[in-house]
């Protein structure tokens, strides 16, 4: 079977121009380098930090240098240490949310695709409502019901994103189910679960993976936003969002406190988006054909 079956009419596959191919891989490589850098920081922070996380010996708002690469915050804590811890929280938030979104979203999306008649309409409407529901409000509800932890934030973001994933999966699966080979598989006696596992999922994963990569970037931003509002990882965890919030008042006198987490946040999100872009070009023949 042809993967192009997944998205609409089959197009004749043209070989892309060679320059296009290299630009495509350049996107992917740049993305991997940027995101990899942050991932490396996060990984190292598990084993080594320049200063203990709660060491307040640095002096108030010390500038960069003098034993502190990026300087210190109001309480005298090393900023580089915090930025490293923050990168770990960002990666955890991104991965956690995407896993929640993927598991829930795919399950819900596949079920919705199989639903018929009024149930189908109801599910579609439900997903639309969930998408329209602000992530922030959802997060506040969850935080109120549980407490402000990274887990609550991840759950809220994952839930909100699962609706987006589910809607996409529903459309993708519906298209696959309309294909002749599904009818053939069913006629030959393959059960629905086996059909889904063997024929449907393999045909939707390229689009799905690209979407999940995009969701990862959005989840990192959402977690920073929640932490900025005090709804994410509780202090003293140095989430980038919290660091930005704390540095806001001192931005004019000690800009490093806001610049460091801000720049890393941008780098990670750009990196992940570039990866998504590169993956789409590489994995998705439909867009490859169109954009070439």
Partner 1 sequence: MRINKTFLYGTATAATLALTATACGGSGSGGSASGGAWDKNATVNIGSLYEPQNLDNTAGGGQGVTEALNGNVYEGLFKLTDEGKVEKLLAEDYKVGDDGLTYTFTLRDGVKFHSGKQLTSQDVKYSLEKVIADDSQSARKSNLAVIKDIATPDARTVKVTLSKKSISFVYNLSYVWVINSQAKNLKTTEDGTGPYTLAKWTRGSALSLDRFPGYWGDAANNKRVVFHYYKDATALNNALLTNAVDVVTSEQSPDALDQFKNNQNYKVTDGNSTTKLLLAFNDKAKPFTDVKVRQAVSSAIDDKKLLESVWGGYGKLIGSMVPPSDPWYEDLTKVNAYDPARAKTLLAEAGYGKGFSFTLDTPNYDPHPTAATFIKSELAKVGITVRINTITPDEWYTKVYKNHDFTATLQEHVNDRDLVWYGNPDFYWGYDDKQVTQWVEQAEEASTTAEQTELLKKVNRKTAEDAASDWLYLYPQIVVASSKLSGYPVNGLNSQFHAYDIKKKG
Residues at the contact surface with partner 1, assessed by CB under 8 A: 54-56, 60-61, 74-76, 144, 147-148, 229-231, 234-236, 242, 246, 248-250, 252-254
| Of residues 59 and 198, the one with the C-beta less far from partner 1 | 59
Residues in the chain: 292
Contact 85, 237 (CB under 8 A): yes
CA angle 40, 161, 204 (to 5 degrees): 85
Contact 232, 226 (CB under 8 A): yes
Residue 86 Cβ, how far from partner 1 at the closest point, in Å?
14
Residue 242 Cβ, how far from partner 1 at the closest point, in Å?
8
| Of residues 55 and 120, the one with the C-beta less far from partner 1 | 55
| Of residues 16 and 262, the one with the C-beta less far from partner 1 | 262
* Torsional sign, CA 82, 220, 105, 151: positive
| Of residues 188 and 252, the one with the C-beta less far from partner 1 | 252
Residue 75 Cβ, how far from partner 1 at the closest point, in Å?
5
| Of residues 106 and 226, the one with the C-beta less far from partner 1 | 226
Residue 143 Cβ, how far from partner 1 at the closest point, in Å?
8
Residue 80 Cβ, how far from partner 1 at the closest point, in Å?
17
| Of residues 52 and 198, the one with the C-beta less far from partner 1 | 52
Residue 167 Cβ, how far from partner 1 at the closest point, in Å?
31
Q: Other CB atoms closer than 10 Å to residue 25's CB: what's the count?
A: 13
DSSP assignment of 96-152, as one string?
A: HHHHHHHHHHHHHHHHHHH--HHHHHHHHHHHHHHHHS-HHHHHHHHHHHS-SSHHH
Tell me what percent of the chain is helix, strand and coil, each rounded to the nearest 5: 75, 0, 25
């Amino acid at each position: 079977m042809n993967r192009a079956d997944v998205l609409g009419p089959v197009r004749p596959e043209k070989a892309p121009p060679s320059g296009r191919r290299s630009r495509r891989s350049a996107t992917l490589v740049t993305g991997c380098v940027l995101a990899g850098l942050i991932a490396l920081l996060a990984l190292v922070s598990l084993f080594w930090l320049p200063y203990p996380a709660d060491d307040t010996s640095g002096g108030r708002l010390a500038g960069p240098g003098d034993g502190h690469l990026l300087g210190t915050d109001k309480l005298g804590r090393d900023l580089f240490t915090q930025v490293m811890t923050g990168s770990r929280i960002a990666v955890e938030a991104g991965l956690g949310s995407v896993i929640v979104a993927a598991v829930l979203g795919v399950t819900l999306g596949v079920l919705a695709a199989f639903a018929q008649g009024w149930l189908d309409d109801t599910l579609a409407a439900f997903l639309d409502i969930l998408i329209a529901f602000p992530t922030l409000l959802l997060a506040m509800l969850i935080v109120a019901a549980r407490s402000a932890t990274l887990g609550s934030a991840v759950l809220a973001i994952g839930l909100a994103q699962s609706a987006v994933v589910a809607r996409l999966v529903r459309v993708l699966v519906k298209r696959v189910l309309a294909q002749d080979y599904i009818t053939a598989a069913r006629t030959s006696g393959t059960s629905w679960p086996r059909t889904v596992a063997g024929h449907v999922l393999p045909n939707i994963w390229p689009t799905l993976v690209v979407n999940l990569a995009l969701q990862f970037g959005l989840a990192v931003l959402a977690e920073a936003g929640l932490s900025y509002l005090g709804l994410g990882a509780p202090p003293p965890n140095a989430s980038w969002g919290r660091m930005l919030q704390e540095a806001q008042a001192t931005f004019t006198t000690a800009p490093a406190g806001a610049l460091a987490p801000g720049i890393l946040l941008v780098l990670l999100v750009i990196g992940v988006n570039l990866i998504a872009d590169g993956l789409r070009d590489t994995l998705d023949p439909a867009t490859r054909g169109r954009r070439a």
